């Protein structure tokens, strides 16, 4: 008897990210949504394999993501150097993408009436996706996108005999700082054109409510947020316990920050604080700390304590 598809056919999957859109959605879940976690690319890929398997009547281990590509505009080195730690953040995220086997495609941001905007990214994404699909003959192309400009691409992929899956989000919120009402909508034309539209806002809400493991793994663990890897807590090579440094807090984010220190400011996590809560820490506060090396050989601040008077870093 012939084997059924569910246990015989491996599927080739390509995943293509509109990078700005992905970042916008990840920031929403990290800063606005009650879950307070960034999206974890490795977990999202596992989710994609489960969704492809469910729609195609096969098993997740037969759904192989053979390509993943990330498209985004980026500041030039000079411009990034003028923004506090922008080069560092870019490198950390590049490390995350490389760790998850995602290839990057960047174009320089263009200055348009005094504002930096992406130009040509959608076209580049469409051309690369179509060309790779012709070359590698994906069974499924997964788009993480929202713009109706991708509709012609989807139609071209269908003409090649490739099915499409869309990961799209619709959400809205009020900006707590400005009071402005913000909303994100995925193009209705794009929803209607793809083979498998996934309304991620609803899928994630239901999954979190039901504590679904696949959905839970789509997010970075809180203690891992903003670390050098999305996957695990890095081990540290501690410095001399008797060697203490003093400086001031330069910036604070959601659970992490930076301390002024030559030649490159030091990253730290809320877990590295001693004798104080992260919520009580402010920019400019004088602190005492030790310097350690994380798993990637980067210097970080550890065992951080508040001091009464600021002093210049050693």
Cα torsion through 22, 24, 30, 35, rounded to 10: -70
In a domain, 312, yes or no: no
Q: Are residues 180 and 288 in the same domain?
A: no
Q: Are residues 166 and 122 in the same domain?
A: yes
Q: Are residues 160 and 262 in the same domain?
A: no
| Tens-place pLDDT, residues 186-217 | 999 999 999 999 999 999 999 999 999 999 99
Q: Report d(CA 211, CA 75) in Å as an integer.
A: 39
* Sheet order of strands, 63-74 included: 103-108, 63-74, 11-18, 140-144, 163-168, 196-199
Chain centre distance of CA 36: 13
| Tens-place pLDDT, residues 213-253 | 999 999 987 544 344 344 344 455 555 667 889 999 988 87
In a domain, 89, yes or no: yes
Q: Are residues 37 and 171 in the same domain?
A: yes
Q: Is pTM, for the whole model, over 0.75?
A: no
Domain of 153? 9-224
Which ranges of the chain have pLDDT less than 70? 1-8, 84, 112-116, 175-179, 222-241, 254, 294-297, 309-314
Q: Are residues 287 and 143 in the same domain?
A: no
Number of domains in the chain: 2
Q: Are residues 37 and 184 in the same domain?
A: yes
């Amino acid at each position: 008897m012939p084997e059924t598809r569910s246990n015989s056919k491996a599927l080739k999957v390509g995943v293509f990210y509109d990078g700005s859109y992905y970042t916008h959605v990840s920031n929403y879940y990290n800063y606005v949504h009650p879950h307070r976690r960034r999206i974890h690319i490795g977990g999202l890929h596992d989710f994609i394999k489960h969704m492809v398997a469910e729609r195609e009547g096969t098993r997740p281990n037969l759904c192989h993501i053979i390509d993943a590509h990330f498209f985004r505009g980026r500041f030039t080195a000079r411009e990034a150097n003028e923004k506090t730690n922008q080069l560092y953040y870019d490198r950390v995220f590049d490390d995350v993408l490389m760790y998850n086997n995602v290839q990057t495609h960047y174009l320089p941001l263009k200055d348009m009436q005094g504002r930096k905007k992406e130009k040509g990214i959608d076209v580049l994404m469409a051309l690369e996706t179509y060309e790779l699909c012709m070359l590698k003959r994906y069974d499924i192309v997964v788009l993480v996108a929202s713009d109706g400009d991708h509709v012609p691409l989807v139609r071209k992929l269908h003409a090649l005999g490739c099915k499409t899956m869309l990961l799209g989000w619709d959400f809205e919120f009020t900006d707590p700082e400005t009071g402005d009402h913000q909303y994100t909508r995925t193009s209705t034309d794009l929803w209607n054109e793809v083979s498998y539209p996934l309304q991620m806002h609803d899928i994630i809400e239901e999954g979190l409510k039901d504590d679904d493991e696949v959905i839970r793994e789509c997010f970075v663990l809180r203690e891992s947020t903003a670390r050098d890897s999305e996957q695990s807590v890095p081990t540290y090579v501690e410095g001399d316990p008797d060697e203490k440094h003093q400086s001031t807090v330069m910036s604070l984010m959601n659970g992490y920050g930076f301390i002024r220190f030559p030649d490159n400011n030091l990253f730290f996590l809320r877990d590295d604080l001693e004798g104080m809560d992260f919520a009580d820490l402010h920019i400019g506060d004088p602190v005492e700390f030790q310097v350690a090396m994380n798993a990637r050989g980067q210097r970080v601040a550890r065992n951080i304590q508040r001091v009464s008077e600021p002093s210049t870093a050693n």
